[in-house]
Homo-oligomer: A and B are copies of this chain.
Amino acid sequence: MKMSPKVESFVYHFGEMGSKWGFNRTVGQIYALLVVSDQSLNANQIGEALSISRGNVSMGIKELQSWQLINLKHIPGDRKEYYSPKGTIWEMANRVFEERRKREVDPTLTLLRNLQLDEANDDAEVYAQGKMREIHDLLETITQWSAELQRLDPAKLHTLMKLGAGISKVLSIKDQFIKPKKDSNKDS
């Protein structure tokens, strides 16, 4: 398993990107390699292509499984396990967002809610709690929207997104239909 120069630069670049997106360089490289390979690969092939140890491949695979990003396949007459990316690229992006939400955003929301419950002891704490509430609301809003995005059919959503107008036109249409209720959101 030798990578072609194109695949190689793709894989190395996505190793670096991966490390900014929640998994380490090697994990990013393994996933990138699987995505651009037209066939499933076994652990030895992966290790050989990326020049990393067998143990490291195994850990990387495990990590990708915890993100639900890969499929495992058995080829008849071969005892090795073969790996391939699960779902489309779009589904992959969704899954990464979703997983990070669970791992990072949810615990933050819990913390912020708990800190709200504590009575403030002085003005400084009142101010701090106000800011924490702003952050809480922002995170919750983003979470809700992204949850709804994920409930849509990916192919349809993709088409809609590419279709043209973009979100500002969408929102202006929404505006004409959904009139703000009188004084129904005192906060913010």
Per-residue CB proximity of A13-37 to B under 8 Å, as 1/0?
1000100101000000000000111
CB <8 Å contact, A17 and B104: yes
Measured CB to CB, the closest approach of chain B to A129, in angstroms, equals: 7
**Chain A binding surface, main DSSP class:** helix
Q: Does A78 contact B (CB under 8 A)?
A: no
Complex interface: chain B residues within 8 A of A38 (CB): 123-124, 127-128
CB <8 Å contact, B121 and A4: yes
Complex interface: chain B residues within 8 A of A9 (CB): 111, 115
Measured CB to CB, the closest approach of chain B to A89, in angstroms, equals: 5
How many copies altogether? 2
Contact (A163, B180) CB under 8 Å given A108-B17, A124-B4, A170-B170: yes
Complex interface: chain B residues within 8 A of A118 (CB): 6
Interface residues of A in 82-114 (CB under 8 A from B): 88-90, 93, 100, 104, 108, 111-112
Contact (A170, B174) CB under 8 Å given A20-B22, A118-B6, A127-B36: yes
Measured CB to CB, the closest approach of chain B to A86, in angstroms, equals: 14
Q: Does A75 contact B (CB under 8 A)?
A: no
CB <8 Å contact, A6 and B125: yes
Partner-contacting stretch, out of A43-51, A54-62, A63-71, A147-155: A147-155
Q: Which residues of A pack against B, CB within 8 Å?
A: 4, 6-7, 9-10, 13, 17, 20, 22, 35-38, 88-90, 93, 100, 104, 108, 111-112, 115, 118, 120-121, 123-125, 127-129, 131-132, 134-135, 137-138, 141-142, 144-145, 148-149, 151-152, 155, 157-171, 173-175, 177-178, 180, 185, 188
10 nearest A-B pairs in the assembled complex, by CB-CB distance: A36-B128, A38-B127, A148-B166, A148-B167, A89-B134, A170-B174, A141-B161, A148-B168, A36-B131, A6-B115
